[in-house]
Structure 1
Amino acid sequence: MNNLTTPIEIARPAIIEFGSGLVSATGRWARARGLNRTLVVADAFNAARVDLLDLPGEVVVFGEVKPEPDLPNLEKVLALAGQVKPDLVVGFGGGSAMDLAKLVAVLPGSGQSFMEVVGPEKVHGRRVALFQVPTTSGTGSEGGTRALVTDPATQNKAAVQSRHMLADIAVVDPDLTLTVPPAVTAATGVDAMAHCVEAFTSRKAHPLIDLYALEGIRLVGRFLKRAVRDGADSEARAGLALASMYGGFCLGPVNTTAGHAVAYPLGTRHHIPHGHACALVFPHTLAFNAPVVAEKTELVLQALGLPASADERTVRDATFGFCADLGIEMRLSKLGVPDSDFETMAQEAHAIRRLLDNNPRDLSQAQILTMYRAAA
Structure 2
Amino acid sequence: MTAQLHSIEILRPNRIEFGSGAIASVARYAAERGFVRPLVVADAFNAARVDRLGLAGEIAVFGEVKPEPDLPNLEAALARASEARPDVVIGFGGGSAMDLAKLVAVLPGSGQTLKDVVGPEKVLGRAVGLIQVPTTAGTGSEGGTRALVTDPETQNKLAVQSRFMLADLAAVDPDLTMTVPPAVTAATGVDAMAHCVEAFTSRKAHPIIDLYALEGVRLVGRFLARAVADGSDGEARAGLALASLYGGFCLGPVNTTAGHAVAYPLGARHHIAHGLACALIFPHTLAFNAQASAEKTAAVIDALGARPTTDPAGVFEAAYGFCERLGVEMRLSALGVPESDFETMATEAHGIRRLLDNNPRDMSRDDILAIYRRAA
- Which category describes the TM-score, using the shorter chain as reference length? over 0.9
| Residues 71-111 of structure 1: per-residue CA shift (max 9 Å, x gap) | 00000010111111110000000000000000000000000
Match of 1:112 in 2: 112
Partner of 1:280: 280
1:53 aligns with 2:42: no
Partner residue in 1 for 2:230: 230
Identity %: 75
3-state SS of 1:220 partner: helix
Match of 2:41 in 1: 41
Q: What residue number does 1:64 align with?
A: 64
> Helix, strand or coil: the match of 1:58?
coil
- How high is the TM-score relative to the length of structure 1? 0.99
Residues in 2 aligned to 1:4 and 1:296: alpha-carbon distance in whole angstroms: 16
Are residues 1:292 and 2:263 paired? no
Give the partner amino acid of 1:323.
Answer: C
- Residues in 2 aligned to 1:88 and 1:142: alpha-carbon distance in whole angstroms: 15
Provide, for residues 256-302 of structure 1, a one-character-per-residue CA deviation record: whole Å limited to 9, x for no partner.
00000000011111111111111111111000001110000000001
Alpha-carbon shift at residue 121 of structure 1 (Å): 0.1
1:220 equivalent in structure 2? 220
CA–CA separation in structure 2 for the residues paired with 1:234 and 1:242: 12
Matches within 5 A, 1:328-367: 328-367=328-367
Structure 2 residue identity aligned to 1:11: L
Three-state SS of the structure 1 residue aligned to 2:184 is helix
1:12 aligns with 2:12: yes
Q: Which amino acid aligns with 2:344?
A: T
Residues 129 and 145 from structure 1, CA distance in 2 versus in 1: closer, same or farther, beyond 3 angstroms?
A: same
CA distance in 2, matches of 1:135, 1:226: 18
Equivalence for 2:92: 92
User: 1 CA distance for matches of 2:82 and 2:106?
Assistant: 12
Q: What does residue 149 of structure 1 align with? A: 149
Q: Which amino acid aligns with 1:352?
A: I
Contact 1:2 1:203 in 2 (8 A): no
Q: Distance in 1 between matches of 2:97 and 2:48?
A: 14
Which 5+ residue runs of structure 2 have no aligned equivalent?
none
Kept in 2: contact 1:198–1:255 (CA 8 A)? yes
Query: Where do residues 169-318 of structure 1 align in structure 2 (5 Å cutoff)?
Result: 169-318=169-318
Indicate conservation of the 8 Å contact 1:2/1:205, yes or no: no
SS of residue paired to 2:148:
strand
Residue ranges of structure 1 left out of the alignment (5+ in a row): none
Q: 1:236 to 1:286 in 2, by over 3 A?
A: same
What is the match of residue 73 of structure 2? 73
Q: Is the 8 A contact 1:219 1:243 kept in 2?
A: yes
Give the counterpart letter for 2:109 in structure 1: G
State the alpha-carbon separation in 2 of the partners of residues 363 and 5 from structure 1: 26
How far 1:63 sits from its partner (Å)?
Answer: 0.2
Q: CA deviation at 1:26?
A: 0.3
Q: Report the CA distance between 1:334 and its aligned residue.
A: 1.3
The ranges of structure 1 where at least 4 consecutive aligned residues each deviate by more than 3 angstroms after the TM superposition are: none
Q: Deviations over 1:105-146 (max 9, x none)?
A: 000000000010000000000000000000000000000000
Task: Work out the CA distance in 2 between the residues paired with 1:343 and 1:280.
Answer: 18
Distance 1:196 1:2, change over 3 A: farther
- 1:83 matched to which residue of 2? 83
Alpha carbons 1:263, 1:281 under 8 Å: kept: yes
TM-score computed with the length of structure 2 as normaliser: 0.99
Query: How far has the Cα of 1:2 moved from its partner?
Result: 5.1
| SS at 1:4 equivalent | helix
Task: State the Cα RMSD in Å.
Answer: 0.7
Counterpart for residue 25 of structure 1: 25
Cα deviation for residue 176 of structure 1 reads 0.1
SS of equivalent residue, structure 1 residue 322: helix
**Letter matched to residue 42 of structure 1:** A
Report the 3-state secondary structure (helix = DSSP H, G, I; strand = E; otherwise coil) of the residue aligned with 1:80.
helix
Change over 3 Å in CA distance of 1:264–1:83 after alignment to 2: same
Q: Paired residues, what number?
A: 376
2:139 counterpart letter in structure 1: T
The answer (yes or no) to whether the contact 1:151–1:158 under 8 Å persists in 2 is: yes
What SS does structure 1 have at the residue aligned with 2:105?
Answer: helix
Matched letter for residue 66 of structure 1? K
2:197 partner letter: V
Contact preservation (8 Å) 1:200, 1:210:
yes
Q: How many angstroms apart in 2 are the aligned matches of 1:2 and 1:69?
A: 39
Q: Is the 8 A contact 1:43 1:66 kept in 2?
A: yes
